[in-house]
Amino acid sequence: MAWLADLVYVNGRFERSLALVCDRRGRVVQLTRSLPDGVHVVRLRGRVILPGLVNAHSHAFHRALRARTERRTAERDSFWTWREMMYELAARLGPEELRAISRMAFLEMALGGVSTVGEFHYLHHAPEGTPYDEPVLLAKVVIRAALDVGLRVSLLHALYMRAGFDRALDKRQRRFVHEDVETYFEGVKALRREFRDEERVRVGVAPHSVRAVPREALREVAKFAAHERLPVHMHVAEQPAEIEACLQEYGHTPVRLLAEEGMLNERFTAIHAIHIDEDEARLLGEAKAHVCACPTTERNLGDGIVAADTLLRHGARIALGTDSHAQIDLFEDARELELNLRLKRLGRALLAPAMKDERNSAIGSGGGDESEGESLATRLFAAATENGASSLGCEAGRLAAGAWADFFTMDLNDPAIVGADDSSLLAHIVFAAGRSAVRDVVVGGKMIVRDGKHEAQDEIAAEFAALQKRLWS
């Protein structure tokens, strides 16, 4: 099969009259202007093909909490007061509820151009904390929800062992907790066995945070992940209170503790990494680690602003996630990575590459060296695609021979981007477009969204709406 749109985004630029040819397995065979004889051609007129977006950090069940926390509950509302409401929701969810919420979250991602999701999963046991007869039941529910929608999924199986340094476990946290590391590893192995023949599923490890996982267990996770060559994701430095507790317990900040334990490497992703200093950014960059920023959630929770400029300067790779799903729009997260910094630094184009020729006009040529090669828009788009794929250790986020045929299309006549020329189109997409411009989504050569609609959309939405009524009435 061949897909032929007006434009294809490949190798950092838009190409015309270029067909994407894929085989029956759903891999790209070639990108060509000479179609093979007899190939079936799907013409996508008035559209541009782009590599599928990669949402590197999701907590699917949080989708049911959207907009329910937008009110004052304390003298000073914060992440910690929001967390209380999240715990209350978690305590009310069983397998069927989790399935309905997860399918809704993943549907919304698909409609926005996401083809791959990294699901950071920590809802393990029954509400009272008793393991299910099948210990990884809820993880399998979430994976199958993603497959139902048609997404590629990396299940990041979370290890959660305690409430924090010198803190008693809240009874609502019991369903998150593994009693020991060995039981946790058995769960990871069970998931890998269960889905070993499903090419859309990968499994990684996710020590929840230095707050929830003691140092000795972190060492064991690091050894296991290194032996199995698995990606490691971990919440790091999201809140100042986490830094203070880590200093009290270990005499180190979280990033310095992880560096001392040898956990920072190219397979490690620090989720958030907001409250770090220059030296910690250097440690992450030198290790070739990833940082997954979640700007929409970080803004919603009042977490703070990721110092993406500092991280990029030191060589860290930045991916993006929608985390709590206050909204699901990876274009918004991409632009916020830059726009939030503008408010903090009181400047513009802070994540753009340095200009090679400052004499170039900012209008007409695109400004400096951005008319060719890397630009601010390409950096932000890479965070939403190839960097996310690298963080998850999966084949996604790019269009090339041998890669999976995972892509989405946008309507070139959408009001947000109409009138863009080839040199400004990506900037239009990153800084102005939204999910309304997404028309088709293809994962592994299979179209899961056609003309802006998923075939199971009405059923998934109706099931979710009924559940919300039961949960919140």
The catalytic site residues sit at: 272, 323
Bridging pattern class, strands 19-22 and 201-207: unpaired
* Contact present, 271 and 235 (Cβ < 8 Å): yes
Q: Tell me the C-alpha distance between 465 and 273, whole Å.
A: 34
What does the CA dihedral 55, 60, 64, 65 come to, rounded to 10 degrees? -70
Nearest CA to 1 among 296, 413, 428, 442?
A: 442
Backbone angles phi, psi at 296, to 5 degrees: -65, -45
Q: Tell me the C-alpha distance between 385 and 306, whole Å.
A: 18
Backbone angles phi, psi at 194, to 5 degrees: -60, -40
Burial 129-145 (b: 16+ CB within 10 A, else e): eebeeebbbbbbbbbbb
* Contact present, 142 and 98 (Cβ < 8 Å): yes
Tokens of 278: 């220059």
Beta strands per DSSP E along 208-350: 232-236, 268-272, 290-293, 317-320
Burial 342-362 (b: 16+ CB within 10 A, else e): eeeeeeebbbbbeeeeeebee
Q: Which residues contact 330 (CB under 8 A, 6 or more apart)?
A: 53, 55, 112, 113, 114, 320, 322, 384
Q: Tell me the C-alpha distance between 27 and 402, whole Å.
A: 6
* Contact present, 426 and 103 (Cβ < 8 Å): no
Q: Tell me the C-alpha distance between 100 and 312, whole Å.
A: 38
| DSSP letter assigned to residue 27 | B
Give SS3 for 158. strand
| Length of the chain, in residues | 473
Tracing tokens 């393990």 back to the chain, one arrives at 124
Nearest CA to 5 among 36, 48, 52?
A: 48
Tokens of 321: 């996630």
Find the helix or strand (DSSP H, E) in which 99 lies.
helix 95-111
Q: Tell me the C-alpha distance between 316 and 313, whole Å.
A: 8
Would you report the helix, strand and coil content of the chain in percent, each value rounded to 5?
A: 40, 20, 40
| DSSP letter assigned to residue 470 | H
